Amino acid sequence: MPERIYNFSPGPATLPFSVLEEAARDIVNFKDRGIGLIELSHRSKEFMAVADETESLIRELLDVPANYKVLFLQGGASSQFFMIPMNLLGPGKKATYLNTGVWSKKAIKEAENFGDITVAYSSADVSFNRVPEDTEYTVSPDSEYLYLVSNNTIYGTQFSSFPQKDAMLVCDMSSDILSRPLDISKFGIIFAGAQKNMGPAGVTVVIIREDLLDKVAENVPTMLKYKTHADKGSMFNTPPTFAIYCVGRVMHWLKNQGGVAAMQRINEEKAALIYKIIDSGDFYRGHAEKTSRSMMNIAFNLPTPELEAQFINEAAAIGLDGLKGHRSIGGCRASIYNAFPIEGVKKLVDFMARFSADNS
């Protein structure tokens, strides 16, 4: 087997190697039963045990209150852009959105099909290089919810703390869920595509307060009602069984690392190493304002596009892969989610120091 590279991709992203080894074994022979994991019926006692354990670990790690449902859905996080307003809004109902990047912009476009949407804040005019302070916007008292994206993968920004407003929060946490502790009770809905911080692509985890399940209009299609999936324990139709299994194994790994609080300390250490070299001179220029910097995705530029291309190519040649920035802003980006090892961050920082010295 060739030596593994360090994968800085924003998603699908790196997974714990121990999880990959477990999955490779179980996909062929699940618990020595002579059948592969992806061949199991989703209603079999074996897979139901997998799903129950995965949900239990998510609840434990995030301290999910008893009055919240944990759902395993399909369609990616992008399907939540319309499912949320479809379930919570309707004629005459209002919601407030914060526009801090591509994914919030897409969510706003979908929500406008279902209700009266107010965009209370936008950082589009500064290339989405910051997220707002609470004092920079207001939320109407008759707004059903305040929608935000906690971490913006493309631009490398993140809410260091969540809004303190008299409004129910609805949050896309696709790229930083489980990276730090949070108070679930402040949120009506949290959702996350698994392929960044939880597992492989294919499943979207939705955590929803139970009282919201009955807000949905009767004419909403059955498959697009949260209540449909909550009532059937995410088994209304065949769920993405392999992805759910992998999320469960990642939850086991995360618990063994010390849980979410321990992971936050590690993530802060990893991010600090990269930001330190970015701030050490003017060769590397971070995209995000310092107060809005992400622990998960670090977007930066070099003096010229030519140097950026050289940087990306030379890094890949020594096993530092996936550092090309998003096409919308160019440059470089290091995505260092929970499973990304600190050894890879240190190797990147050493390379950055050598590259700047050789090309300044």
Q: Are 302 and 283 in contact (CB under 8 A)?
A: yes
What whole-number percentage of the chain has pLDDT above 90?
97
Q: Do 165 and 34 share a domain, yes or no? A: yes
Please give the helix or strand (H or E) that residue 300 lies within, else none: strand 297-301
Q: Do 312 and 339 share a domain, yes or no? A: yes
pLDDT band for position 2 (50/70/90)?
confident
Q: Residue 22 sits in a domain of what CATH number? A: 3.40.640.10
Look at residue 20 and tell me whether its pLDDT is greater than 70: yes
Backbone angles phi, psi at 232, to 5 degrees: -110, 15
Q: Do 326 and 183 share a domain, yes or no? A: no
Q: Do 241 and 269 share a domain, yes or no? A: no
Asked whether residue 5 is domain-assigned, the answer is no
Average pLDDT over residues 217-234: 97
pLDDT band for position 328 (50/70/90)?
confident
Asked whether residue 322 is domain-assigned, the answer is yes
Q: Do 213 and 320 share a domain, yes or no? A: no
Listed residue (164, 160, 144) closest to 152, CA to CA: 160
Q: Do 85 and 177 share a domain, yes or no? A: yes
- The last residue of one of the domains, among 236, 256, 276, is 256
Greatest extent of the chain over all pairs of C-alpha atoms, in Å: 65
Q: Are 201 and 241 in contact (CB under 8 A)?
A: no
Asked whether residue 65 is domain-assigned, the answer is yes
- The last residue of one of the domains, among 224, 256, 288, is 256
- The last residue of one of the domains, among 256, 276, 294, is 256
* pLDDT, tens digit, 9 for 90 and up, residues 24-66: 999 999 999 999 999 999 999 999 999 999 999 999 999 999 9
* pLDDT, tens digit, 9 for 90 and up, residues 267-278: 999 999 999 999
Q: Do 103 and 252 share a domain, yes or no? A: yes
What's the chain's average pLDDT? 97
**SS3 of 37-99:** HHHCCCCCHHHHHHHHHHHHHHHHHHCCCCCEEEEEECCHHHHHHHHHHHHHCCCCCEEEEEE
**Residue 329, CB-side half-sphere exposure with 13 Å CA sphere:** 26
Q: How far apart are CA 242 and CA 287, in angstroms?
A: 36
Candidates 26, 172, 225, 270; catalytic one: 172
Asked whether residue 167 is domain-assigned, the answer is yes
Q: Do 164 and 184 share a domain, yes or no? A: yes
Candidates 69, 103, 227, 270; catalytic one: 103
Asked whether residue 353 is domain-assigned, the answer is yes
pLDDT band for position 310 (50/70/90)?
very high
Q: How far apart are CA 115 and CA 118, in angstroms?
A: 10
Using CA atoms, how far residue 38 sits from 176, 213, 234, in Å, is 28, 30, 17
Look at residue 1 and tell me whether its pLDDT is greater than 70: no
Look at residue 12 and tell me whether its pLDDT is greater than 70: yes
Kindly write down the DSSP assignment for every residue of 215-270, as one continuous string: GS-TTS-GGG-HHHHHHTTT-SS---HHHHHHHHHHHHHHHHTTHHHHHHHHHHHH
Report pLDDT for 235: 96
Asked whether residue 8 is domain-assigned, the answer is no
* pLDDT, tens digit, 9 for 90 and up, residues 139-198: 999 999 999 999 999 999 999 999 999 999 999 999 999 999 999 999 999 999 999 999
Residue 172 known to be catalytic: yes
Domains held by the chain: number: 2
Listed residue (39, 41, 17) closest to 26, CA to CA: 39
Q: Looking at the whole model, is its pTM more than 0.75?
A: yes
Average pLDDT over residues 121-142: 97
Average pLDDT over residues 101-107: 97
Q: Do 250 and 266 share a domain, yes or no? A: no
Q: Do 120 and 265 share a domain, yes or no? A: no
pLDDT band for position 358 (50/70/90)?
very high
Q: Do 337 and 240 share a domain, yes or no? A: no
Q: How far apart are CA 12 and CA 29, in angstroms?
A: 25
Average pLDDT over residues 78-92: 96
Candidates 26, 69, 176, 196; catalytic one: 196
Residue 45 known to be catalytic: no
Report pLDDT for 158: 98
Q: Residue 282 sits in a domain of what CATH number? A: 3.90.1150.10
Q: How far apart are CA 354 and CA 162, in angstroms?
A: 38
Asked whether residue 10 is domain-assigned, the answer is no
Q: Do 293 and 279 share a domain, yes or no? A: yes
Q: Are 32 and 228 in contact (CB under 8 A)?
A: no
Asked whether residue 7 is domain-assigned, the answer is no
Residue 338 structural domain = 259-359
